Chains A and B, each alone.
Chain A
Amino acid sequence: MSDPISRLDQFRADAPGAPMSSAAEARRRGDQIRRRKRTVVTAGAAALAAVVAGPIIFLSTGLGDKAIDPAPAPSDLSRANLPTEGDLVADDPYPAWVQEQTYDGEGTDTYNDCLTESLSDSGAQAAVRRDFVAKPGEEMADAAGTLNAVVAEFGSADEAERVRSDLTDAAASCPGVDGAEVAGSLPVEGGVISGGNVDVVTYLPVEPEMNARWEVATAVVSAEDRVLVMTRKRGVQDYVSPTTLQTSAVNAAYRMVGATPPSDPSADPTETGSPAADGLSAANLIDGSTLPALDRFESPLGWNQYTPASDVPTLACQKESLSSLGASAKVASDYRWDTDSAMVGQVHMAVLEFPDVNAAGAAYNEIMEWQEVCPANKLGVNPEVTSLPTDVSADLDAGPKRAARSQATYPGADGNDSLWFETELVAQYETRLVLVGYAEIAGPCPPSTGDKNDPCYQPDQPDSWPDRILAIEKAAVAAGISDLR
């Protein structure tokens, strides 16, 4: 019988699967995965000594038997999910925002003139609120108005997204106020955020002595199953684009889901990518014209240097900003490969200079730990390690003392089956580290390697991926240590 359909039907009917393992075993292992991610985040210096063995130790010491269920309960929302003073960007020339009051629940007074329905009315299971004022006593404090943030949790991410959409419409049309006029709008996006907007309306004050209009700027943002409503109200003469509120809302969104907000670039001079001290310069960075083409995709511009958003890390698995490694100087550059419709390739490179070899070595170990366990969520996408770090110093033939390459995947932004396949490299030469994060979009299979035994072999694709990875890494390492050799 060679009828393939009959054979396939028979196969389906027989379901030749493995003997049933237990669901409890899968749950235990799932709890272990969650704990490992959490444990690594707080492991600190001890993790350095367990660069490779660490995760194996976590798995084999029986921690799972006594751990509590790590799943957040539906009502695990707390005041810790509200933005703090440090998360808010001051509006020049007004002073910084300081906390005035924090509530469990939405509070009894109105926090947004435009919204006619409370979050509880919309189905929120829990809510918390924090009010801010401009620092009292400072110049212009009285004119800065007020700012408040309400965070609410819903039954599901879909429900949160629906509420966000409804509230955004209300913030833009402002049914709660007669004669409100739309002044402007900005998106709030990136990182953990599912969707968001800042909408600004103005209206004439009831108070006849007031010689300005009221301005209500409302940021409504959803992330996971939560919604943030952040409202700034003040008297204005002219419209100013609410970019400060936009940044504050992004930070608040991270806080809302229990993540660390993106670093403020101004607080981290080594994150800027501008030429730094200690001998590092643009000469230590890859020359975009030498990068090999991403030949699976047509691109009108080829590799194009750009400045990514502040929360885009060099390596997707990066746990913290590179400044946490204690480098004395850093230079960085970023390139992207775009088709007519989307970004399909990314090269992120950073060169770090350390005070001595030991400091560089410790940082190398820390980065290897990131590659091994991938504790990061800077992109809001939970990357998965698909290939553990391996020693590739010999492949690079550029003389680094050591070099480790790993691979990870994370979902593309299209919401379909696309994946970023990122190759991450750290190389050490004396007091210097070179980091390269190189990602190509594909999915569900990785880009072709040309190996016909690969379950994902795709004969219609060029097989240039492995060579491209190596060429980019070699170019980056050669440039990164060019002045030391």
Chain B
Amino acid sequence: MDEHEFDALYNASYRRLCAQLYAMIGDFDEAAECVQEAFARAWAHRRKMSSVDYPEAWIRTTAYRLAVGRWRRKKYAGRAADRAVGARTEMPAVDESHVALVAALKQLPEAQRQAIVLHHIADLPVHQVATEVGAPTGTIKARLARGRAALAELLAEDDPGAVWKEA
């Protein structure tokens, strides 16, 4: 992967990946920092990236792992979250309805949340979600169905008049 290809990938997918990671972990600032760091690691391993079929998926997975690792490090080690990222960026306010959605997502079991984010927000077909999380497609479909149902209930708590049923 050369500089031009990297920049094109970055410009095309940075914001999208930030949104996806935000939906997965529920922390806007942390998501942005982890995506930026994941891109840095992709550049550091750019020779290997040339043979990666889906660089965006690689970066998303790396960013997610970084986010989980940083969360754990802060929680258990009591040390600075990361020495790696650059200057902190001022983050814009996030739409209120999105905050509610992310809060609801955060209450789902991790596997369901990951399937929903990858399918509905990252817009991956079910078989690609299955590949990315290393689970059979049937399992992914079940996680999606259960996750959507649980999400509907959680969102309904915010909006008691609304009813939604899985098709």
Within 8 A of A (CB), among B62-117: 64-65, 67-69, 71-73, 75-79, 83-86, 89-92, 94-95, 97-98, 101, 109-111, 116
Tell whether A19 is near chain B: CB-to-CB under 8 Å: yes
**Option from B15, B40, B51, B94 in Cβ contact (under 8 Å) with A26:** B40
Contact assessment for B64 and A444 in the assembled complex, using a CB-CB cutoff below 8 Å = yes
> Residues of B contacting A31 with CB < 8 Å?
43-44
Some 24 contacts from A to B, beta carbons below 8 A apart, are A5-B120, A11-B98, A15-B16, A17-B15, A18-B89, A18-B91, A23-B11, A24-B7, A26-B6, A26-B43, A27-B43, A29-B86, A30-B39, A30-B46, A33-B40, A34-B44, A59-B83, A59-B84, A71-B47, A444-B64, A445-B110, A455-B67, A455-B68, A458-B111
Residues of chain A at the chain B interface (Cβ within 8 Å): 1-5, 7-12, 14-21, 23-27, 29-34, 55-56, 59, 71-72, 156-158, 224-225, 382, 386-388, 390, 409, 416-419, 443-446, 449, 451, 453-459
Bound Cα distance A224, B46 (Å) = 12
B18's nearest neighbour on chain A, judged by CB, is: A17
Bound Cα distance A387, B72 (Å) = 8
Bound Cα distance A179, B162 (Å) = 80
> Residues of A contacting B90 with CB < 8 Å?
19
> Residues of B contacting A2 with CB < 8 Å?
152, 155-156, 158-159, 162-164
Known A4-B152, A30-B42, A158-B51; contact A388-B134, beta-carbon cutoff 8 A: no
What secondary structure prevails in chain B residues at the interface with A? helix
Contact assessment for B133 and A444 in the assembled complex, using a CB-CB cutoff below 8 Å = yes
A412's nearest neighbour on chain B, judged by CB, is: B134
> Residues of B contacting A459 with CB < 8 Å?
109
**Option from A11, A26, A59, A386 in Cβ contact (under 8 Å) with B36:** A26
Q: Which 9 residue pairs across A and B have the least CB separation, nearest first? A: A30-B43, A18-B32, A17-B18, A17-B15, A29-B40, A417-B134, A2-B162, A23-B10, A8-B120
> Residues of B contacting A20 with CB < 8 Å?
11, 14-15
Bound Cα distance A14, B102 (Å) = 13
Instruction: Render B47-65 as a binary contact track against A, CB cut-off 8 A, 1 for contact.
Output: 1101100000000010011
A-B pair number, CB within 8 angstroms: 201
Known A4-B151, A15-B15, A27-B43; contact A444-B24, beta-carbon cutoff 8 A: no
Minimal beta-carbon separation of B93 from chain A (angstroms): 9
Which of A2, A5, A14, A382: most chain B CB closer than 10 A?
A2
Minimal beta-carbon separation of A407 from chain B (angstroms): 8
Bound Cα distance A2, B123 (Å) = 20
Bound Cα distance A243, B115 (Å) = 47
Contact assessment for A30 and B44 in the assembled complex, using a CB-CB cutoff below 8 Å = yes
User: Chain B, interface size: which category?
Assistant: 35 or more
Beyond the given A7-B97, A27-B7, A34-B44, please list 17 additional residue pairs across the A-B interface where CB-CB is below 8 A: A3-B152, A4-B151, A4-B152, A11-B23, A11-B101, A17-B31, A19-B90, A26-B43, A27-B6, A33-B44, A33-B84, A59-B84, A387-B77, A390-B79, A446-B68, A449-B72, A457-B109
> Residues of A contacting B79 with CB < 8 Å?
388, 390
Bound Cα distance A446, B71 (Å) = 12
A74's nearest neighbour on chain B, judged by CB, is: B47
Contact assessment for B77 and A388 in the assembled complex, using a CB-CB cutoff below 8 Å = yes
> Residues of B contacting A446 with CB < 8 Å?
68, 72
> Residues of B contacting A9 with CB < 8 Å?
120
Bound Cα distance A388, B76 (Å) = 11
B121's nearest neighbour on chain A, judged by CB, is: A12
Which of A11, A17, A458: most chain B CB closer than 10 A?
A17
Contact assessment for B101 and A386 in the assembled complex, using a CB-CB cutoff below 8 Å = no
Contact assessment for A454 and B71 in the assembled complex, using a CB-CB cutoff below 8 Å = yes
Bound Cα distance A386, B45 (Å) = 18
Contact assessment for B89 and A19 in the assembled complex, using a CB-CB cutoff below 8 Å = yes
Contact assessment for A25 and B73 in the assembled complex, using a CB-CB cutoff below 8 Å = no
> Residues of A contacting B51 with CB < 8 Å?
156-158, 225
Contact assessment for B94 and A16 in the assembled complex, using a CB-CB cutoff below 8 Å = yes
B17's nearest neighbour on chain A, judged by CB, is: A17
Bound Cα distance A24, B158 (Å) = 42
